[in-house]
Amino acid sequence: GGSGGRAPKPIVVNRYKLKQDVVGYLTQRPPRLYLYDMATKKAEALTAESVQASSPTWSPDGKWIAFTSNHRDDPDRTPEAQVYVAEAKAGVAEKALTEVSEIGASGGGRGGRVEWSPDGKWLAFLLGEEKKWGAYSQEHLAIAPSDGSSKATLVKAAMELDRGVSAPRWSEDGKAIVVMVTDDMSVYPARVPVNGGHAEPLMAKPIQVSAANHAKGCTVVTSGGDERHNEIYAVDSGALRQLTHENDALMAEIEWGTTEEVKFKSKDGTEVHGLLTYPVGYQKGTKVPFLLRIHGGPKGQDGHSLSQEAQWFAANGYAVLRVNYRGSDGRGSKYQKAISADWGHYEVEDLEAGVNHVIQMGVADPDHMGVGGWSYGGILTDYMIATDTRFKAATSGAGTAFTVSFYGTDQYIIQYDNEIGAPWTKQGWETYVKISYPFLHADRIKTPTLFLGGERDFNVPVQGGQQMYQALRSLGIDTQLIIYPNEFHGIQRPSYVRDRYERYLAWYDKHLKNKTTNATQTERAARQ
C-alpha cells in the first residue's frame, strides 16, 4: 500500500466459535496454566499446550492447584468442562476430579474459580445445566472431594431455593458455604449447610448486595438501594450497620424519584414483578409521560439498586417502569426457561401487561408513552414497537430483529445451534422466521425510533440496528442511527456514555413532550 507501513497479517480462523466481543476474532491458542517462580522469575507450564485451562485456585496448604479445563477436540462445540486438581509442580500430569457441564456459565466461584474448603479436602463450584438451556441455565452449587474419590454432588439446601446462586465461599468451619442468591429483585448472601438443613439468608429482602466477604464470624457487604449508592456495611443479626459514608454528600444534594414494587398478571395469568420509579416531585393522581425501560440478558433482573438511567428520566419528568419479564433471573428455573426458542412472545405479553397496569394505576399517560433498552432490551424494544403502536418514541440499542442474519456474525453460534437449530433445517428456519417478525413485518411499526450501537460490537453487531434503521427509513418512519466509534457492546468512553443519555432524553422529549432539546455535549464540543 501507499502508507509505507507493513500490512497486517491476514486473520485466520479455524474455531467453531469465531469471534467474541472485545477479544475479536478467535485465532489464538487456548490459554495454558503456568507456574511462576517469584525467586527465579521464571515461568514453567503446568498444563499441555493443547489443553484449554482457566480459573486456577491454590489449595490452602499451597501444594495443589484446582482449575477448570475442557479437553474435548472441539471445546467450542462441546462446552462441557471438567474440574482438575494438579500438584503445583511443572510437568506433573493433572488428575481428573469430575466432569461437569458448563461450570459457572455466569461466574462460578469468585470470577469462575473453584473454591477449596478450609481443610483442603473439598471443592465447591457451580454446575450449569444441559447445553440446550445454556442461555437460561440456573447454576447449581456442587461439592466434590479434592482427591477425586467420588463424583460431584449437588448441595440439596441450595437446590431447594430454585434460584440462581453465585460466588460460593466456604465458612471457616467447613460446614457451610455462603453463596449470593438472586431472588426476585433482590440479591443477598445465604448460608447453605453442606450436610442437611436449609439455606439461611443472612439478611431480609428487599436488599441488593453486590459483594460480600466473611472472616472470623463477621460478614461485610457492599450494598445499595433504590435511592442510595453503594456503601460498605457490617451485617449484625441480619441488620445492616453502615461502615462507610463515601456518597453521603452526593446523596444529600440530589432529589431522587421514589421507586416501588409493582405486581400484575400477564395475559396467561402468570404473575410478573417490576419496579416503578416516579418522576421527581410527582403529585399523586396525575398522569405523566411514561417510559418502559427493558433490561438486557435476558438472564438478568432489575433490582433494588440505584438505577442511574431510571433516575435520569425521573429527574426529567418521566415515570419509568422496569419489568422482570419471563426469561429474567430471580423467579425460578421454569420462569427463566419459558422463552427458549420463542423470543418475543411471553416477554412481550409480560411487558404489555406491565404497561397496562401502570396506565390503570392512573400514572402513565397513554398518549405519551415511550420504550427502550439495550442488548436484549433493544431486541425486545423492536418486538414491542412491532406489536404495539401506542408507543410514540423508542430507543433501541445494540439489538437485532433479523436473527438469522446474525448466524456466524455474532458470538452466539453455540446458543443458536443448541436452542434454535440450523437455518437450513425446516424447524430451524421456521423458528428464525418466527422470532424475526420485527424486521420481516417492519411495515407494522409506526413508532419513531432511535437506533444505537458500538462500531466494534461483536456481541450484538451494529448491523442489527442498521437493518432496522434502514427498514424504518425506507418506510418513511422518523428514525436515526447513532454509531459510537471503536466502542464494543458496552459503551465505555465517558463522553459517549453521556452522549447516549442525552440522546435518549432528546428523542423522548421530541416525540413525547413536543420539546426540542439542545445538541448533546459531544456535538457542541465537536463544533468548537
Helix-helix angle 376-387:346-360, to 10 degrees: 70
Angle at 471 between CA 468 and CA 477, to 5 degrees: 100
- Give the HSE-up count for residue 472: Cα atoms under 13 Å, Cβ half-sphere: 24
The pLDDT value recorded for residue 524 is: 63
Cis? peptide before 79, omega within 30° of 0: no
In the predicted model, residues of the chain with pLDDT beneath 50 are 1, 96-111
10 Å CB burial of residue 297 (0-12, 13-18, 19+) is buried
Partnered with residue 480 across adjacent β-strands are 450
10 Å CB burial of residue 501 (0-12, 13-18, 19+) is middle
Asked if residues 391 and 373 have their Cβ atoms less than 8 Å apart, the reply is no
CA dist., res. 384 & res. 372, Å (int)? 9
Q: Where are the alpha helices (DSSP H) in 361-394?
A: 376-387
Phi-psi category of 272—alpha, beta or left, where left has phi over 0 and alpha has psi -120 to 50? beta
CA dist., res. 459 & res. 481, Å (int)? 18
Question: SS3 breakdown of the chain: % helix, strand, coil, rounded to 5?
Answer: 25, 30, 45
- The DSSP H or E segment spanning 322 is strand 319-324
**pTM tops 0.95:** no
CA dist., res. 423 & res. 416, Å (int)? 9
Angle at 231 between CA 225 and CA 234, to 5 degrees: 105
State the residue for C-alpha cell 430483529.
Answer: 401
Q: State the Rg of the chain over Cα.
A: 25
CA dist., res. 333 & res. 325, Å (int)? 13
Asked if residues 300 and 331 have their Cβ atoms less than 8 Å apart, the reply is no
Q: Count the Cβ atoms, other than its own, within 10 Å of residue 333.
A: 16
CA dist., res. 468 & res. 405, Å (int)? 12
- Give the HSE-up count for residue 145: Cα atoms under 13 Å, Cβ half-sphere: 5
Asked if residues 521 and 495 have their Cβ atoms less than 8 Å apart, the reply is yes
Which amino acid appears at position 65 of this protein?
Answer: I
The pLDDT value recorded for residue 449 is: 99
Domain ranges within the chain, ordered by starting residue: 19-154, 255-522
Which CATH superfamily is 19-154 part of? Answer: TolB, C-terminal domain (2.120.10.30)
Cell of 44: 514453567
pLDDT tens digits, one per residue of 144-184: 998 888 888 899 999 999 999 999 999 999 999 999 999 99
Evaluate the CA torsion angle 295, 300, 301, 302 in order and state its sign.
Answer: negative
The pLDDT value recorded for residue 285 is: 94
CA dist., res. 266 & res. 274, Å (int)? 12
The pLDDT value recorded for residue 54 is: 84
The pLDDT value recorded for residue 470 is: 99
For residue 104, give the nearest of 88, 81, 123 by alpha carbon: 81
Q: Which residues contact 385 (CB under 8 A, 6 or more apart)?
A: 371, 391, 394, 396, 438, 445, 446, 447, 449
Q: Are strands 82-87 and 64-70 parallel, antiparallel or unpaired?
A: antiparallel
Cis? peptide before 206, omega within 30° of 0: yes
10 Å CB burial of residue 63 (0-12, 13-18, 19+) is exposed
10 Å CB burial of residue 37 (0-12, 13-18, 19+) is exposed
For the domain spanning 255-522, the CATH number is 3.40.50.1820
Which amino acid appears at position 34 of this protein?
Answer: Y
10 Å CB burial of residue 259 (0-12, 13-18, 19+) is buried
Cell of 264: 400484575
CA dist., res. 485 & res. 488, Å (int)? 9
Tell me 420's DSSP state. I
Q: Are strands 319-324 and 288-294 parallel, antiparallel or unpaired?
A: parallel
CA dist., res. 208 & res. 254, Å (int)? 21
Evaluate the CA torsion angle 277, 281, 284, 285 in order and state its sign.
Answer: negative
Asked if residues 499 and 520 have their Cβ atoms less than 8 Å apart, the reply is yes
